[in-house]
């Protein structure tokens, strides 16, 4: 699978570019919307959570910045999975062409949403810098490790995307099941609250640690918000899940690939 994808890297780049252009085709601002949305989110979260509700949780101040550092990687993950699930059915005309490699479509979705995450990243970094100027001890040189966190998360997203795309061709309710599961997992991931705030609820802390999305979100929070070097155990956990997701996802896609043309 990896060898074939590398062989089609030119096609993947072209389709990713097409996907990005199609998303903003006909709009006046174009890619500027990728900056407008995170700016609006930052503004709303700052007003609501730092001035109105002012939640008091250890290790999450300022709360709006803490929220963004976990929310944006989650948006990349969840959006990619939902869109990957439908990627084969949406591009059925391409799949029916014998020479078209169907496996590139979920990967293109993951890469396109990665670009949107990268476009929003300056807003996160600006929020962290602003918080530091206000005296909050957030961020640091550990942000240089963020590309490594992205490299770890990408095969996790792409692997699950491959499996979900192939399964959705045969089981059309896969997308609906996934959306409900992601809603549940969102609240079981340390995005709205830090892991340190669950010390009095050990059972919930254990459930959150079993959530496959938790180590990836924590990686981004550690390097961006807390300014820490993530522990080796956290890197190993995230890398192991990424390897498992890619292996299983590629295997499922390979097994179902011969039946995709007839089923789409």
pLDDT in tens, 20-65: 888 777 666 666 666 777 777 778 877 777 777 766 666 778 888 8
pLDDT band at 193 (very low <50, low <70, confident <90, very high): confident
- What confidence tens digit (pLDDT) does each residue in 233-263 have? 999 999 999 999 999 999 999 999 988 888 7
Q: What's the pLDDT score for residue 254?
A: 95
Q: What's the pLDDT at 52?
A: 73
Q: Is the pLDDT of residue 135 over 90?
A: no
pLDDT of amino acid 202: 82
Residue 95 is predicted with a pLDDT of 85
C-beta separation of 116 from 38 below 8 A: no
Cα separations (Å) of 8 from 2, 12, 62?
A: 10, 6, 44
Cβ of 103: how many Cβ atoms within 10 Å? 22
pLDDT over 90 (residue 103) = yes
In this prediction, residue 31 carries a pLDDT of 61
Q: Of 17-31, 126-140, 181-195, give the lowest mean pLDDT range.
A: 17-31
Please report the pLDDT score of residue 26 as a whole number: 63
pLDDT of residue 104: 95
189: left (phi over 0), alpha (psi -120 to 50) or beta: beta
Nearest-CA neighbor of 195 among 236, 234, 146?
A: 234
* Average predicted confidence (pLDDT) for the chain: 88
pLDDT the model gives residue 34: 66
Alpha-carbon span 79 to 102, nearest angstrom: 20
Q: How far apart are CA 197 and CA 8, in angstroms?
A: 46
Q: At what angle do helices 146-170 and 63-90 cross, to 10 degrees?
A: 40
Question: Which helix (DSSP H) or strand (DSSP E) does residue 129 occupy?
Answer: helix 104-133
Closest to 127 in 3D by CA, of 50, 229, 43 = 43
What kind and span of H or E run contains 120?
helix 104-133
């Amino acid at each position: 699978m990896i060898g074939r994808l590398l062989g089609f890297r030119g096609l993947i780049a072209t389709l990713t570019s097409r996907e990005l252009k199609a998303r903003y085709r006909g709009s006046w601002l174009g890619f500027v919307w990728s900056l407008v949305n995170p700016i609006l989110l930052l503004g709303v979260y700052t007003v609501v959570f730092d001035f109105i509700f002012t939640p008091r949780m250890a290790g999450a101040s300022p709360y709006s910045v803490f929220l963004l550092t976990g929310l944006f990687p989650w948006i990349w993950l969840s959006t990619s999975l939902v869109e990957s699930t439908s990627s084969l059915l949406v591009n059925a005309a391409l799949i029916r062409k014998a020479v078209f490699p169907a496996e590139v479509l979920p990967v293109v979705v993951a890469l396109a949403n990665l670009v949107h995450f990268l476009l929003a990243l300056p807003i996160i970094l600006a929020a962290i810098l602003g918080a530091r100027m206000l005296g909050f001890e957030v961020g640091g040189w550990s942000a240089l490790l963020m590309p490594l966190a992205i490299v770890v998360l990408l095969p996790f997203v792409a692997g699950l995307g491959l499996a979900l795309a192939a399964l959705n061709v045969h089981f059309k309710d896969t997308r609906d099941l996934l959306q409900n599961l992601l809603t549940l997992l969102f609240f079981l991931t340390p995005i709205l609250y830090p892991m340190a705030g669950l010390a009095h609820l050990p059972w919930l802390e254990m459930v959150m640690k079993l959530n496959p999305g938790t180590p990836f979100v924590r990686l981004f929070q550690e390097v961006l918000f807390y300014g820490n070097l993530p522990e080796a155990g956290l890197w190993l956990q995230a890398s192991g899940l990424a390897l498992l997701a890619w292996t299983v996802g590629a295997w499922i896609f390979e097994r179902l690939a011969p039946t995709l043309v007839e089923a789409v």
